[in-house]
Amino acid sequence: MKKENNGEIKRSLKTRHLSMIAIGGSIGTGLFLASGNAIATAGPGGALVAYSAIGIMVFFLMTSLGEMATYMPVSGSFSTYASRFVDPAFGFALGWNYWFNWAITLAVDISTAALIVQFWFPNTPGWIWSAIFLILIFGLNALSVRAYGESEYWFSIIKVATVIIFLIVGVLTIFGILGGEYMGFKNFTAGEAPFKGGFFAILGTFLIAGFSFQGTELVGIAAGESETPEKSVPKAIKQVFWRILLFYIFAIFIIGLIIPYTSPNLLGSGAEDIAISPFTLVFEKAGLAFAASVMNAVILTSVLSAGNSGLYASTRMLWSLAEDGKAPRFLKKVNRRGIPIAALVVTTLVGAMTFITTLSENGSIIYTWLLSASGLTGFIAWVGIAVSHYRFRRAFIKQGHDLSELKYRAKFFPFGPLLALVLCILVIIGQDYNSFMHPDFSNPAWWQKIAVSYIGLPIFLGFWGIYKVTKKTKVIKLEEAKFDHPES
């Protein structure tokens, strides 16, 4: 029984699990659905520029996270790093905001999954499917960390196989081998293509791309439960660039070649109409009549994968906050299978209660605000990773360490984290650039729209400020930063 009270997690994730968790974090509805909207908004060239820029940023962020996670593999990941290398108040705000984000997103995922299943069973109440999926996701997380890793492994295999088949079918379609005549680059040069709407359209697409890549930071959290983090983390991180290049850039390039950016179907890409996912459109263009059902199943897998990973990440973050004395002590409880069971139950209950709010008219308003409040959290977490790594490396050198001690070294320091920091701030500021392009200060609806878009920022700053004032924390001096391994 002592083991239950010690708060010990088990390092049970294998290298293949961590690699697929990294892949699963970067392939999801952002690629299968939102990519079509990006092409319709900025044209095929604009979408490629936006996804390439955000992809480069994510690559640098993952190398930054990889350097820290390999040297100090902890389940709290960037919250712990921010507390040690920036300011405990900064780490507190990052951790609680990240937990809040994924707890709310869990409700989104089970709602979306129910919507997708109604493609096949339109007469079944959606809440029944949501309840089934919530129980399934909870069960996978409650069983063992290896059960979570194994489920994510197979979820990711399905997604990767789909993208690879899509790329092959797409190339054959472009050359007229499938689906009729040779297409060439005509859709890249028609009308305003390849760039539609100029700089601000691309900026708007930055937001779509940014949300598409959110979840890649899960590698840092999972590193705390990896059997061999010094081998697994670098391997997963090194694959990020090639995944982005192959799965996103190449896929968007193919969609842009096959489907005109003016197609009204691209603007409609969303969970409410799986039949017009750009992937479905390309498969149908190739003459595959069953495309809608297959893509519906794949997208359902992606949504369940996101919910599964979200519950895992938020549970570990809440447990880590409790370990650091920044959350109630009872949340430190870990069962004999190494699962932070108290944190898991609390997070699941919050996700379930958030979902329940969608079932009433007034509750849906609260739900919209909760969802808006969590919207910027992923980008704020990325800012935290960039700032923490910059100070981690400076503190490492300041304290007389040699770079040869690092088992994995981020490339292009300090350019990488600084570029990532600038791009993240740009995306956060540009969250609702359209409203600032057409301001209407006398209109309450305009102010409400601004509040909905940016509410996550003052909430984060509020967490940071309250903790800083009550605990009287200070920015950590580089020479006083701690590099010990808290979970070893």
Q: What are 80-134's pLDDT values in tens digits?
A: 999 999 999 999 999 998 998 888 888 888 888 887 887 788 888 888 888 999 9
pLDDT for 460 equals 92
Mean pLDDT of 389-418: 93
Which stretch of DSSP H or E encloses residue 337? none
Whole-angstrom Cα distance, residue 231 to residue 141? 24
Model confidence at 56: pLDDT above 60: yes
The mean per-residue pLDDT over the stretch 365-386 comes to 79
Residue-level pLDDT at 403: 92
Is the model more confident about 215 or about 367?
A: 215
* pLDDT at 235 > cutoff 50: yes
Q: Average of pLDDT values for 155-165? A: 87
CATH of the domain at 472: 1.20.1740.10
**Average pLDDT value over all residues in the chain:** 84
Residue 347 CA to residue 307 CA, distance in Å, equals 12
In a domain, 388, yes or no: yes
What is the predicted pLDDT for the residue at 472? 93
Letter string b/e over residues 128-153, b meaning 16 or more CB atoms within 10 A of that residue's CB: ebbeebbebbbebbbebbbbbbbbbb
> How do residues 413-428 score in pLDDT, each as one tens digit?
999 999 999 989 988 8
* pLDDT greater at residue 437 or residue 485: 437
Q: Is 473 helix (H, G, I), strand (E, B) or coil?
A: coil
Q: Between residues 178 and 72, which one has the greater pLDDT?
A: 72
pLDDT of res. 275: 47
CA distances from 59 to 53, 164, 241, 342 (A): 10, 21, 6, 34
Bigger pLDDT: 62 vs 15 = 62
What is the CB neighbour count within 10 angstroms for residue 52?
A: 16
Is residue 93 within 8 Å of 430, Cβ to Cβ? Answer: no
Give which of 214, 200, 212 is closest to 430, Cα–Cα: 200
In the block, which residue shows the tokens 């390439």? 52
Report in angstroms the alpha-carbon separations of 276 from 114, 253, 292, 295, 304.
Answer: 18, 18, 8, 10, 20
Residue 485 falls within a domain, yes or no? no
Q: Above 60 in pLDDT, residue 5? A: no
Number of domains in the chain: 1
Q: Is the peptide bond preceding residue 194 cis, with omega within 30 degrees of 0?
A: yes
Q: What phi, psi does 337 have (nearest 5°)?
A: -90, 5
Return all residues near 362 (Cβ < 8 A) that are at least 6 apart. Answer: none
Distance of CA 251 to the CA centre of its chain: 19
Separation of alpha carbons 337 and 345, rounded Å: 15
Q: Is the dihedral of CA 274, 278, 281, 282 positive or negative?
A: negative
The pLDDT-based confidence of 373 (bands split at 50, 70, 90) is low
pTM, two decimal places: 0.88
Q: pLDDT tens for residues 257-273?
A: 888 888 877 765 444 45
Asked if residue 487 belongs to a domain, the reply is no
- E strand or H helix that includes residue 3: helix 2-5
Tell which wins on pLDDT, 78 or 242. 78
Per-residue CA distances from 265 to 196, 220, 270, 305 (Å): 17, 37, 10, 26
Length of the chain measured in residues: 488
Task: Identify the three-state secondary structure at position 13.
Answer: strand
Residues with Cβ within 8 Å of 382's Cβ and at least 6 positions away in sequence, in order, are: 57, 61, 217, 420, 424
Mean pLDDT highest for which of 1-5, 125-129, 245-249, 472-476? 472-476
* Residue 488, domain member (yes or no): no
* pLDDT tops 90 at residue 135: yes
pLDDT of residue 148: 86
Question: 475 pLDDT band (50/70/90 cuts)?
Answer: very high
| Res 471 pLDDT > 90 | yes
> Is residue 275 domain-resident?
yes
How much is the CA Rg of the chain, to the nearest whole Å?
22
| Residue entry with tokens 């360490």 | 401
Instruction: Give 475's DSSP letter.
Output: P
Assigned domain for 486 exists: no
Q: Does residue 289 form part of some domain?
A: yes
pLDDT score recorded for residue 274 = 52
Q: Which domain holds residue 368?
A: 2-480
Whether residue 315 lies inside any domain: the answer is yes
pLDDT number for residue 269? 47
Structure confidence at residue 402 (pLDDT): 92
Question: Looking at residue 1, what is its pLDDT?
Answer: 31
Which bin fits 473, alpha (ψ -120 to 50), beta or left (φ > 0)?
beta
Of 29-43, 44-58, 143-157, 310-324, least confident by mean pLDDT is 29-43
- Could you tell me where the beta strands, DSSP code E, fall in 190-326? none
